[in-house]
């Protein structure tokens, strides 16, 4: 970062990258120091390497006919004057663009602080080639220069522009338009906010008997979306209930394997990638650098190598959707994990106490996992016990199989559990949150669903368009994907029940989240025909029509950025709902 001039810095970036690939432990230590006090410059330098001219020279970008940068004026209803910057990618000849009526509107990720469509260009070109549709990627304002809610408003303004002009302002037909919105990481939050703002505007127009002029997008495609700004350690009771419901309905196969991923008690330290001692220690060969270090230290042995020189744990969960190879070591699935071959019934008594897994150091074990312990009168203790031992006494599902226990391992959320994730660390997440919010706002993180779309009320989720949600099982944001998908399904089911009861003339008690448009909760502002149409549509659909969720085994964050280094990323599906 401090090297000048730029050409030398770009060249040094490549050289040092190769160096730290060879000396991975030193790379981890250097990143640890930077991530302890991350800066905007560090975040941007770390993530924006794909525009390095030397890397781009060796990157084979898919060939397309149209690739241009566009400046768009804000819609008349906007309170902003800064023009919208976007990049248009179209694989077909330019003369075909004026016939296009279908658009992919993409919001690239970057932690709300970094990266533009140019840093995602490889996969944007791939999408343009594979779909045959124009892809418009928005370079929205980044924090700290443009704090919340600037990026959200800019994303919504872009969607309104495309709808109002039917795409004519970017060269499309201008007759009609069908839009799929996509987003990864931070861009996924912006994509969902477009849907939420559109629904709020439509509901407001319906309540005032005004015509609805802003249609919903055809579908929303999300990859490892960041949907929750509540960086907590324990899953909330409501989210845990959704998780249980998803498992019993079969939407999350293999809950036992997912729980194993979060079994932190298997390790010496509360970390998924803990350095676990093995019977056979693997030591790397000494290098010239070690020799110089030995002279400098007077021949003393570096205890750090003995302490942290063991192979890291690479937990594997078989994917239920794709049979793809494991994520490369740079994403956290470290190679050389001979320690993982140890059997579960190994005698840990021969080891020193500090070298034993935490589970082996527990001296007193409660019968039945403590599920039959008397409950405390304390509300806090009661909630913690319910989180820790839930599912043990639950009824059996319809298929006759016993419901798997949802205990402490699974109630610990991924973003806290994977606090040594090589792509996103907690210190980086906190820094991005602080930069994104800015100095002039103090939102209520427990209720503000614009900041945390995972908190969106059920009456909005029930109206969502089809969703395709994809994420790696080792991603810090995998819980966001699983919980949001479950909440949408629950809201759709509840909406159908509400419509059935309303059309049958029966009364029922519904929460505020699924009330009808009128003030007293009845269907006064909706015609019977509209209600029947909505009910019939929900009746014809199944859960997979509302949400399709794909979890990739052993993958972490940012796989869309790595099609050159990781061929499996090219297999990530992009559904077309047109």
The CATH number that applies at residue 71 is 3.40.50.1820
171 Cβ partners below 8 Å, 6+ apart? 88, 94, 97, 98
Residue 483 lies in a domain: yes
Task: Looking at the structure, tell me whether residues 19 and 155 fall in a common domain.
Answer: no
pLDDT the model gives residue 522: 45
Closest-CA residue to 124 (of 69, 173, 164): 69
361 Cβ partners below 8 Å, 6+ apart? 353
Task: Looking at the structure, tell me whether residues 27 and 130 fall in a common domain.
Answer: no
pLDDT the model gives residue 374: 52
CB 490 within 8 A of CB 245: yes
- Is 78 a residue of the active site? no
What six digits make up the tokens of 406? 């949802």
**Regions of the chain where pLDDT drops below 70:** 232-234, 252-347, 353-354, 356, 358-359, 361-420, 422, 506-526, 573-578
What six digits make up the tokens of 426? 């907690």
Residue 470 lies in a domain: yes
Task: Looking at the structure, tell me whether residues 179 and 40 fall in a common domain.
Answer: no
pLDDT the model gives residue 236: 74
User: In whole angstroms, how far apart are CA 174 and each of 168, 177, 213, 493?
Assistant: 4, 7, 16, 36
pLDDT the model gives residue 245: 77
Task: Looking at the structure, tell me whether residues 112 and 200 fall in a common domain.
Answer: yes
262 Cβ partners below 8 Å, 6+ apart? 272, 409, 410, 412, 414, 417
Structural domains of the chain, count: 2
Residue 90 lies in a domain: yes
Residue 376 lies in a domain: no
Closest-CA residue to 89 (of 55, 111, 60, 120): 120
pLDDT the model gives residue 556: 86
Candidates 78, 79, 165, 185; catalytic one = 185
Domain boundary among 55, 74, 90: 55
Task: Looking at the structure, tell me whether residues 214 and 99 fall in a common domain.
Answer: yes
Give the global pTM: 0.74
Task: Looking at the structure, tell me whether residues 49 and 84 fall in a common domain.
Answer: no
Domain encompassing residue 21: 6-55
Residue 249 lies in a domain: no
User: In whole angstroms, how far apart are CA 220 and each of 300, 346, 469?
Assistant: 58, 48, 8
Residue 111 lies in a domain: yes
């Amino acid at each position: 970062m401090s090297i000048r001039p730029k050409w030398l810095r770009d060249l040094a970036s490549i050289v040092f990258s190769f160096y730290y690939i060879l000396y991975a432990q030193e790379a981890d230590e250097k990143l640890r120091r930077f991530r302890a006090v991350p800066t905007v410059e560090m975040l941007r330098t770390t993530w924006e390497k794909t525009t390095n001219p030397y890397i781009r020279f060796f990157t084979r970008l898919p060939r397309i006919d149209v690739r241009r940068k566009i400046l768009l004026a804000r819609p008349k209803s906007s309170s902003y004057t800064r023009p919208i910057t976007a990049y248009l990618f179209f694989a077909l000849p330019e003369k075909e663009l004026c016939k296009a009526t279908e658009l992919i509107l993409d919001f690239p990720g970057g932690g709300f602080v970094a990266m533009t469509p140019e840093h995602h260009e490889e996969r944007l070109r791939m999408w343009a080639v594979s779909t045959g549709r124009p892809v418009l990627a928005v370079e929205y304002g980044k924090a700290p220069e443009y704090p919340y809610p600037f990026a959200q408003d800019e994303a919504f303004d872009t969607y309104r522009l495309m709808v109002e002009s039917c795409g004519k302002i970017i060269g499309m037909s201008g007759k009609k338009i069908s839009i799929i919105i996509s987003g990864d990481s931070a861009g996924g939050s912006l994509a969902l906010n477009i849907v939420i703002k559109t629904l709020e505007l439509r509901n407001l127009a319906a309540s005032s008997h005004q015509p609805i002029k802003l249609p919903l997008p055809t579908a929303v495609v999300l990859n490892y979306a960041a949907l929750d700004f509540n960086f907590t350690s324990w899953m909330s009771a409501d989210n845990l209930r959704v998780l249980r419901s998803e498992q019993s309905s079969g939407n999350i196969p293999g809950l036992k394997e997912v729980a194993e991923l979060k079994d932190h008690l298997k390790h010496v330290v509360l970390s998924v990638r803990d350095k676990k001692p093995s019977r056979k220690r693997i030591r790397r060969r000494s290098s010239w650098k070690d020799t110089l270090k030995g002279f400098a230290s007077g021949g003393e042995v570096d205890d750090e190598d003995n302490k942290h020189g063991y192979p890291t744990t690479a937990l594997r969960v078989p994917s239920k959707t794709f049979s793809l190879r494991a994520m490369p070591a740079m994403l956290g699935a470290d190679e050389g994990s001979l320690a993982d071959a140890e059997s579960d019934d190994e005698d840990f008594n021969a080891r020193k106490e500090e070298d034993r897994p935490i589970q082996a150091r527990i001296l007193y074990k409660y019968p039945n996992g403590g599920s039959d312990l008397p409950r405390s009168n304390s509300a806090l203790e009661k909630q913690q016990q319910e989180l820790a031992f839930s599912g043990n006494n639950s009824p059996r599902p319809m298929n006759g199989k016993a419901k798997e226990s949802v205990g402490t391992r699974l109630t610990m959320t991924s973003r806290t559990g994977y606090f040594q994730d090589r792509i996103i660390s907690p210190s980086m997440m906190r820094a991005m949150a602080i930069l994104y919010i800015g100095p002039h706002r103090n939102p209520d993180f427990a209720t503000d669903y614009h900041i945390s779309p995972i908190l969106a009320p059920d009456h909005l989720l029930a109206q969502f368009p089809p969703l395709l949600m994809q994420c790696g099982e080792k991603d810090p944001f995998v819980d966001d994907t699983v919980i949001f998908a479950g909440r949408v399904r629950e809201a759709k089911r509840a909406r159908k029940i509400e419509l059935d009861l309303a059309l049958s003339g029966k009364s029922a008690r519904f929460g505020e989240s699924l009330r009808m448009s009128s003030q007293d909760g009845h269907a006064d502002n909706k015609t019977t025909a509209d209600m029947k149409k909505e009910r019939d549509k929900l009746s014809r659909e199944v859960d997979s029509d509302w949400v399709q969720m794909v979890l990739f085994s052993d993958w972490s964050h940012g796989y869309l950025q790595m099609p050159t280094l990781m061929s499996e990323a090219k297999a990530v599906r992009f559904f077309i709902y047109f």
